[in-house]
Structure 1
Amino acid sequence: MAPTTNRNLTIFAGEFPARSETFVRNHAAGFAQRGWRVEVMSSQPGESMSQTELAEVDAMGVTRSYWGAWSPSSAGRALQFAGELMRAPGLVAVLNGAGGWTRPEMFAGHRMRRLLRQSPTGPVHVHYGKYAALLVAAGWPGPAIVTWHGFDANIVPKLRGDGIYRDLFAKDWVHTVGSSFVQRRLVALGARPDRIVKIPMGVDFERFVEIDRSGWAARPLAVVSVGRLSEEKGHAVLLDAAAEVNARGTDLRLTIIGEGPARPVLERQIRDLGLGARVLLLGSQPPARVVRELAAADVFALPGVTAGNGSEETQGLAYIEAQATGLPVIASDVGGVSESLDPGRSGILTAERDVKAVADALVAYAEHPDLRYDHGRQGAAFVRAKFTQAAMLDAFERLYAGEAA
């Protein structure tokens, strides 16, 4: 990476801004606040993003650029291809040299590379290994910093084979991970251990403020869960546990924030369990609403599982954000989740898919307010010691300086 004095930073993400990827927003906004010129390149804004939310990102001083998506129709794809071919006659070779990637993916890689050519010189930071691999496949020489999450490290290799990142790992690029779990996964996939740096995603503690709940009046236990509605988040386990808690005579109210493919299944499960009056599916919500719901709750619960397709939590930023507000957390010991809380001190860690253990944890917090207050206070202190946004940005900035040297 060439030395730069104008502090230009290019960040790649799948969608930006996206409500489910606050870590990219924190990354971009943090460097903009430090005086960097930040441009985020992605395929498109996240689903359901309002104009107000987009304006908020723009007001942070972050530039948004989009490479667009491959058309779902054959006629649309033909027009796209013809237009791109006029600009770049070598595109046929790029699309055919896929190396395990599909043509739509290679088309995206080509457009990503073209956007990069138009950006100022400076560090390039790619969120998700898949997009870094597409840049390599499209012929971009690099270098870049690559930050890995869950889908790219777990699902993509299961779908395409463990060798899908071979060309990426052959590059002398730096890879960052949020947990030791992902670090081990990358080594197993062929990454060089000396090129992997553990940098947990940081939290904006000015947004996620600790709430003193010790003086709250008695009421039904207010439980909140934040996460995409997909199997690995464990919402089905949480609903079964809520039904068991109800059967034991403990009253609770559960609010689930997030959207995703599991919604129809979860809606049916809520009906079948007779939980319609106790469970609210809020769908995807803006960050401000998420903060309000966390602040109003007594407990955070997200008992993740290893999904049938291999997906599982890698760091679990939602657990960290919840603890920042003083909430005790209930989680399952899968992936890298255990590194995001202090089990037995800031929350309760259960075995995977253990409905009874999750129900026991909920009842314990309902019957013993002092326990949840104590866990909440310790959780707030724990995350503020380990997951500051400043520490994340400092670590990234050191990487940028090192790669530029």
Structure 2
Amino acid sequence: MRIAFVTGKFPQLSQTFILQQITGLIDLGADVEIFASPVVDTVMHRAFQHYDLGAKTHYRPEIPPAGLGRWRRMLAHLRGHSRRAQFDTLRALNKCGASRLEISPLPGYFLPQLIDAGPFDVIHCHFGDYGRYASALRRLGYDTKVITTFHGYGANVYPRQQGADSYRSMFRWGDLFTVNSQFLKRRLIELGCPAERIRVLPMGVDLSSFEYREPTHEPGEPVRLVSVARLVPAKGLSYAIRAVRELVDRGFDVVYRIAGGGELEAELQALIDELDLGGRVELLGPKTHDEVRELYADSDIFVLPSVRTARGDEETQGVVVQEAHATGLPVVVTDIGGISEGMIHGETGYVCTSRDATALADALAKLIEREQDWRKMSRRARALVEGRYDLQKLNRALLALYEEAISSA
């Protein structure tokens, strides 16, 4: 089976789930090629090199800001491809939007490579906007099945920015759509996606990479809190930092480490200094997959204090919760999006109100005071991930989904 994976910047540390799907499909015997934008990461995924994915990846040119420059570069890119790719790409320019009057150069950056490298049995697009471009090929009569995986941005932010009808053509011509939670399924139906073509397929966790361990907190040592998250507004990390201040003021001995990089680093560090938490809260910066696993193993409680932002960002799964659960960590998460679907309130951790540092501190205090139950919660957390988020099982389910699409009329 030949599969084209279409995504944004690749590989990104914050999107390990895409890399794991690709390598999992290769392990299952699929012939995978990747179509993406280049990314310069200071830390490279080990699997990217091990599977020699650089040789399987087609990088498209950088897209200039809106204007004539965007059209010029697209046309220059198009000239380097076959006549068929040129002709069909130009035909597709008005077949990706809500109406035939909407003409965009963007498909010209994506489709020529797909056409010339094909044919593919399946084109799998991660993120809704790429699905718009690929589904135009179906509209032109191409046999290739198009499957689009939605994430939070594509369902929550993109339609607000581009209009509620942005996906009308894709929902008509796309074959199947996958989402990682029931929350996201409901959101897609609200946007007009036919419910019968939506499949709930969570992002999985490689259980062989996350070794389970029972709680190891030593009496007299501080309780070790941890978050693995980009330093961006949607992660709500300022509320967790303020919650640590409240816990310390209540007499709890805690330390808090945050792994990840992003635009809010200086702002969060200033908050740490302002609250006099320099000895208790530490920003660790970006970490490799191996370093994240070590961090989980050296922690007691995982925290994901995500919020819904003004522009609509909202967590739809929060796969880091499943990673933490796989290692045996109980969690405290907020009540937005689909995060709570990936844990069991009261059994593997607690859900609290978002944007409320006191509520977060209360939930953490309650979990800390239940230290005698950590072992039971830890085992329940691992069992939950083994049952619902095993990457190997989910990759086989994805392959079965491709076969379902191919066999359908």
TM-score, length-scaled by structure 1: 0.89
- Asked if 2 retains the 8 angstrom alpha-carbon contact of 1:328 and 1:373, the reply is no
Shift of 1:401: 1.1
SS in 2 for 1:21: helix
Shift of 1:362: 2.2
Alpha carbons of structure 1 residues 230 and 53: separation in structure 2 relative to 1, 3 Å: same
Shift of 1:356: 1.6
Stretch moving more, 77-86 or 321-330: 77-86
Q: Does 1:238 align with 2:236?
A: no
| Rounded Cα–Cα distance in structure 2 between residues aligned with 1:65 and 1:264 | 35
Same amino acid, percent of matched pairs? 31
1:158 aligned partner, one-letter code: R
Shift of 1:237: 1.1
Report what 1:123 is aligned to.
122
Shift of 1:114: 1.3
Residue 186 of structure 1 is aligned with which of 185, 188, 201? 188
Query: What 5-or-longer segments of structure 1 have no aligned partner?
Result: 1-6
Shift of 1:115: 1.6
Shift of 1:392: 1.2
SS in 2 for 1:294: helix
| Rounded Cα–Cα distance in structure 2 between residues aligned with 1:57 and 1:276 | 41
Deviations 1:97-124 (A, max 9, x none): 77379xxx95443232112121353222
| Rounded Cα–Cα distance in structure 2 between residues aligned with 1:321 and 1:68 | 34
Residue 66 of structure 1 is aligned with which of 54, 59, 81? 59
Alpha carbons of structure 1 residues 225 and 343: separation in structure 2 relative to 1, 3 Å: same
Alpha carbons of structure 1 residues 174 and 344: separation in structure 2 relative to 1, 3 Å: same
Residue 273 of structure 1 is aligned with which of 249, 272, 275? 275
| Rounded Cα–Cα distance in structure 1 between residues aligned with 2:12 and 2:59 | 13
- Asked if 1 retains the 8 angstrom alpha-carbon contact of 2:7 and 2:126, the reply is yes
Q: Does 1:13 align with 2:7?
A: yes
Write out aligned runs for 1:4-403 (5 A). Answer: 7-45=1-39, 47-50=41-44, 54-58=48-52, 63-71=56-64, 80-81=73-74, 83-84=76-77, 86-87=79-80, 88=86, 99=97, 106-117=104-115, 118-136=117-135, 141=142, 142-214=144-216, 216=218, 218-403=220-405
| Rounded Cα–Cα distance in structure 1 between residues aligned with 2:45 and 2:21 | 21
Stretch moving more, 89-98 or 395-404: 89-98
| Rounded Cα–Cα distance in structure 1 between residues aligned with 2:332 and 2:217 | 22
Shift of 1:357: 2.1
- Asked if 2 retains the 8 angstrom alpha-carbon contact of 1:129 and 1:152, the reply is yes
Deviations 1:176-234 (A, max 9, x none): 11111000100100100110011111110001111122474541111110112222212
Report what 2:83 is aligned to.
none
Stretch moving more, 214-223 or 44-53: 44-53
Stretch moving more, 342-351 or 10-19: 10-19
TM-score, length-scaled by structure 2: 0.88
Deviations 1:235-254 (A, max 9, x none): 11111101111111212111
| Rounded Cα–Cα distance in structure 2 between residues aligned with 1:109 and 1:19 | 26
Stretch moving more, 214-223 or 158-167: 214-223
| Rounded Cα–Cα distance in structure 2 between residues aligned with 1:257 and 1:392 | 27
Alpha carbons of structure 1 residues 224 and 204: separation in structure 2 relative to 1, 3 Å: same
Query: What 5-or-longer segments of structure 2 have no aligned partner?
Result: 81-85
SS in 2 for 1:280: strand
SS in 2 for 1:13: strand
Alpha carbons of structure 1 residues 53 and 36: separation in structure 2 relative to 1, 3 Å: closer
- Asked if 2 retains the 8 angstrom alpha-carbon contact of 1:314 and 1:337, the reply is yes
- Asked if 1 retains the 8 angstrom alpha-carbon contact of 2:71 and 2:105, the reply is no
- Asked if 1 retains the 8 angstrom alpha-carbon contact of 2:13 and 2:45, the reply is no
Report what 1:3 is aligned to.
none
- Asked if 2 retains the 8 angstrom alpha-carbon contact of 1:67 and 1:108, the reply is no
| Rounded Cα–Cα distance in structure 1 between residues aligned with 2:197 and 2:45 | 39
- Asked if 2 retains the 8 angstrom alpha-carbon contact of 1:300 and 1:322, the reply is yes
- Asked if 1 retains the 8 angstrom alpha-carbon contact of 2:330 and 2:378, the reply is yes
| Rounded Cα–Cα distance in structure 1 between residues aligned with 2:192 and 2:291 | 41
Alpha carbons of structure 1 residues 319 and 291: separation in structure 2 relative to 1, 3 Å: same
SS in 2 for 1:144: strand
- Asked if 1 retains the 8 angstrom alpha-carbon contact of 2:122 and 2:146, the reply is yes
| Rounded Cα–Cα distance in structure 1 between residues aligned with 2:406 and 2:20 | 23
SS in 1 for 2:255: strand
Alpha carbons of structure 1 residues 254 and 106: separation in structure 2 relative to 1, 3 Å: farther
- Asked if 2 retains the 8 angstrom alpha-carbon contact of 1:333 and 1:349, the reply is yes
Shift of 1:93: 7.2
Aligned length: 395
2:22 aligned partner, one-letter code: A
- Asked if 2 retains the 8 angstrom alpha-carbon contact of 1:40 and 1:62, the reply is no
1:116 aligned partner, one-letter code: L
Report what 1:4 is aligned to.
none
Shift of 1:331: 0.2
